[in-house]
Amino acid sequence: MWAAAPLFLLLLLLLARLRRSGAVPLEPAGRAVLITGCDSGFGHLLALRLHRLGFTVFAGCLCPGGEGARRLQREAGAGRLRVLRLDVTRAGDVLAAKELVLSHLPERGFWGLVNNAGISTFGETGWLSMEKYEKFADVNLLGSIRTTLAFLPLLRKYKGRIVFMSSIIAYFSLGNGIYSMTKAAIERFCDALRLEMKKFGVRVCIIQPGNYARSTKIQPPISAEEIWNELSEEEKAVYNKEYVQERANFFNSILSEGSANGNEVVDAMVDALTSPAPKARYMVAKLKEKALVFVCALFPTVVMDYFMSYALSKVKLA
């Protein structure tokens, strides 16, 4: 019986692929999509792509008067793309966004919500204040939940799509544990939501990019000197400048290796919104990044801890 299991799984994958290839493609015209975090990065690129495809796009920007928002308006022109102020940490902004969408809803209704807004930072657990933890939880996790709850009735009504921006960092941490924590939490939220929404015909998809730091600018290069100056006296008594510098160099080297082609991720986001049979997860990453996720998921924790500890720091503490 167990010998037949791989063949059975292969058959299921083949049937799923045939289902995807034989289904009728979506018609974007007359369907609305709201995207958060459109000031730059993936959200900015996606807003322009969906507009070109024919969707009615509501582009949520933290700074609607900023350069990113103005660039959206210049490139898209008047009509089906509307830029709106949307700070996902503010319930009032989310409610105002919903009212705007309802007042300008096209004939085929509300099709998609893309929870893309997010922030990132670097630092070991003791280096970060409680205020920073609260801010990250509010933007990366609660912000997505806040917008999802607000638009869920519309999504159920029109049997639409919800797309969440996660990361392969949900599986491991490379000195940005606070970011990893929020992405892991949003994945578990999505897993529950995906099953709950099936009975309503609503699809929930997760996008898991690899290292696209050069494309999104979500994490600028870090300064060891700034990190050291912000540490409390208690933390300075534990760590030393050499250690902080080594960690900063390590993290900056990772940032410099990031892909600059954000359209690879946008392709996955578009598929999640338009495919008749979207995937539950879209991992858009280099082969070595996918291999690392595979190791994290399947190998014992003690094995992963050994390799990660070796890679993260070779500098001894005082």
Distance between CA atoms of 157 and 1, rounded to whole angstroms? Answer: 43
Say if residue 236 is exposed, middle or buried (CB neighbours under 10 Å; 0-12, 13-18, 19+): middle
Give the active site residue among 158, 171, 179, 243. Answer: 179
The tokens for 102 are 């309802």
Give the torsion sign (CA, 269, 60, 145, 30). Answer: negative
Enumerate the H helices of 23-90 as residue ranges. Answer: 41-53, 67-76
Distance of CA 60 to the CA centre of its chain: 15
The candidate with the shortest Cα–Cα distance to 278, out of 186, 196, 164, 169, is: 164
pLDDT at residue 160 in the model: 97
Q: What percent of the chain has pLDDT over 70?
A: 90
pLDDT at residue 11 in the model: 66
Q: What is the mean pLDDT of residues 259-286?
A: 95
Looking only at the bridges linking them, the beta strands covering 110-115 and 81-85 are unpaired
Cα-only R_g, the chain: 21
The tokens for 294 are 């595979």
The candidate with the shortest Cα–Cα distance to 102, out of 2, 26, 32, is: 32
DSSP annotation of 125: G
**Is residue 12 very low, low, confident or very high in pLDDT (cuts 50, 70, 90)?**
low
pLDDT at residue 16 in the model: 56
- Each residue's pLDDT tens digit, 171-210: 988 778 899 999 999 999 999 999 999 999 999 999 999 9
Distance between CA atoms of 184 and 135, rounded to whole angstroms? Answer: 16
Q: What percent of the chain has pLDDT over 90?
A: 60
pLDDT at residue 292 in the model: 86
Distance between CA atoms of 184 and 286, rounded to whole angstroms? Answer: 20
Q: Where are the beta strands (DSSP E) in the chain?
A: 32-35, 56-61, 81-85, 110-115, 161-165, 203-209, 281-284
For residues 68 and 216, is the Cβ–Cβ distance under 8 A? no
Q: 243 catalytic, yes or no? A: no
pLDDT at residue 14 in the model: 63
**Is residue 1 very low, low, confident or very high in pLDDT (cuts 50, 70, 90)?**
very low
Alpha carbon distance, N-terminus to C-terminus of the chain? 58
Distance between CA atoms of 265 and 210, rounded to whole angstroms? Answer: 9
> What is the amino acid identity at position 182?
T
Whether the pLDDT of residue 49 is over 70: the answer is yes
- Each residue's pLDDT tens digit, 106-149: 999 999 999 999 998 888 888 988 999 999 999 999 999 999 99
> What is the amino acid identity at position 133?
Y
**Is residue 255 very low, low, confident or very high in pLDDT (cuts 50, 70, 90)?**
confident
- Each residue's pLDDT tens digit, 280-312: 999 999 999 998 898 888 888 888 888 777 776
Query: Residue 177 contacts by C-beta under 8 Å, 6 or more apart in sequence?
Result: 124, 125
pLDDT at residue 281 in the model: 97
pTM strictly above 0.85 = yes
Which of 155-169, 202-216, 256-270: highest mean pLDDT?
Answer: 155-169
Distance between CA atoms of 106 and 158, rounded to whole angstroms? Answer: 12
Whether the pLDDT of residue 218 is over 50: the answer is yes
Orientation angle between helical segments 41-53 and 67-76, nearest 10 degrees: 10
Does the domain formed by 28-313 have CATH 2.130.10.10?
no
